[in-house]
Amino acid sequence: MKSKLICVFTVILVFLSTITISAGAIELKNYNINFELPKEFTVITENNIKENSEFLKEISFTENSFKDYISANNIVLFASTQDKSFQIVINAVETEFSKQTENLSYLDDNYIARLIPKLVTGDVPVTQIKQINENKYIMASKQSSDKAGSYRYIQYLTIKNKLLYNITFSYTESNPANSQKAEELINNLFINKESEKITINKIENIAIYVVLILIILFFVVVAVYISYTFIIDAIKNRNTSDVAPYVKIKRRRFK
């Protein structure tokens, strides 16, 4: 019985370490993302596909096809309103370019403008470079249409923690409030700086520093000890030279 309970708690901890969703607050720890979403959104990640199988059917997905979809496109979060008029997709992937760049906010706007062709693909025109919540984004927008009517894509691309993030909002333009909602949502999304991890190289460096400190301490102790013995010997020598030897002379009596 105890072993079963341990297994259950382990599964729960693993799940919570990956994603936490409660009352509109979303935390994707593996990607350093915190996101506030209105309760009207249904949030789906790789961890809660089964619980949302009925909703997936409404947007023409099976559980397996959705798994393939998010895996092929590096999707870490998918969210949609119940009426499907507003959808959010967040991608996060490490590329050679993102590893070299590390953080888009380190670059000035002119340099970013020259990098846009490497980051934005397709015929989505770039509108501007925006600073939002300490992160610098390339914002791209496109209007399109299908049988359901006209809709708009808005993409926010950034690089942080050596990952390329792509936050995409797609919504129908029949509801004028959707445009304002997109702006509010991106302002409620935070990509945090990754906490520094202790790597093998860092452990080796720490070990080298510790050894060097111990060696320095050893020599300091030896130097102090040698100095101490010299002082003690000098004091002893001074004491023996300053005090004349005392000789007791016994007076003889003559008869």
45-85: per-residue pLDDT in tens? 888 999 999 999 999 999 999 999 999 999 999 999 988 89
User: What is the domain-level CATH number for residue 50?
Assistant: 3.40.1000.10
Q: Indicate whether this model's pTM tops 0.85.
A: no
Confidence class for position 225, pLDDT limits 50, 70, 90? confident
Domain termination residue (choose one: 149, 165, 191): 191
7 lies in the same domain as 125: yes
52 lies in the same domain as 149: yes
49 lies in the same domain as 138: yes
Domain total of the chain: 2
Question: For 85-124, b where at least 16 C-beta lie within 10 A, e where not — what string?
Answer: bbbbbbbbeeeeebeebebbeebeeeebeeeeeebbeeee
Determine, yes or no, domain membership for 252. Answer: no
Quote the domain boundaries for residue 232: 197-245
Determine, yes or no, domain membership for 254. Answer: no
187 lies in the same domain as 212: no
Determine, yes or no, domain membership for 96. Answer: yes
143, β-bridge pairs: 152
225 lies in the same domain as 159: no
Q: Would you give the DSSP letter of residue 48?
A: S
Determine, yes or no, domain membership for 101. Answer: yes
Domain termination residue (choose one: 191, 210, 235): 191
184 lies in the same domain as 202: no
Determine, yes or no, domain membership for 250. Answer: no
Determine, yes or no, domain membership for 253. Answer: no
Domain termination residue (choose one: 169, 191, 213): 191
Q: Would you give the DSSP letter of residue 193?
A: P
pLDDT of residue 17 exceeding 90: no
176 lies in the same domain as 209: no
Report the C-alpha gap between 101 and 103 in whole angstroms. Answer: 6
123 lies in the same domain as 230: no
The identity of residue 82, as a single letter, is Q
pLDDT digits (tens, 9 = 90+) for 136-155: 999 998 888 877 678 898 99
23 lies in the same domain as 124: yes
pLDDT of residue 95 exceeding 60: yes
120 lies in the same domain as 219: no
pLDDT at residue 210, as a whole number: 80
17 lies in the same domain as 86: yes
Determine, yes or no, domain membership for 221. Answer: yes
Determine, yes or no, domain membership for 255. Answer: no
Report the C-alpha gap between 45 and 25 in whole angstroms. Answer: 14
pLDDT at residue 120, as a whole number: 78
Provide mean pLDDT across the span 174-203: 80
pLDDT at residue 16, as a whole number: 35
Task: Evaluate whether 138 touches 119 at the Cβ level (below 8 Å).
Answer: yes
187 lies in the same domain as 202: no
Report the C-alpha gap between 170 and 200 in whole angstroms. Answer: 43
pLDDT at residue 209, as a whole number: 75
pLDDT at residue 231, as a whole number: 83
- Across all residues in the chain, what is the average pLDDT? 80
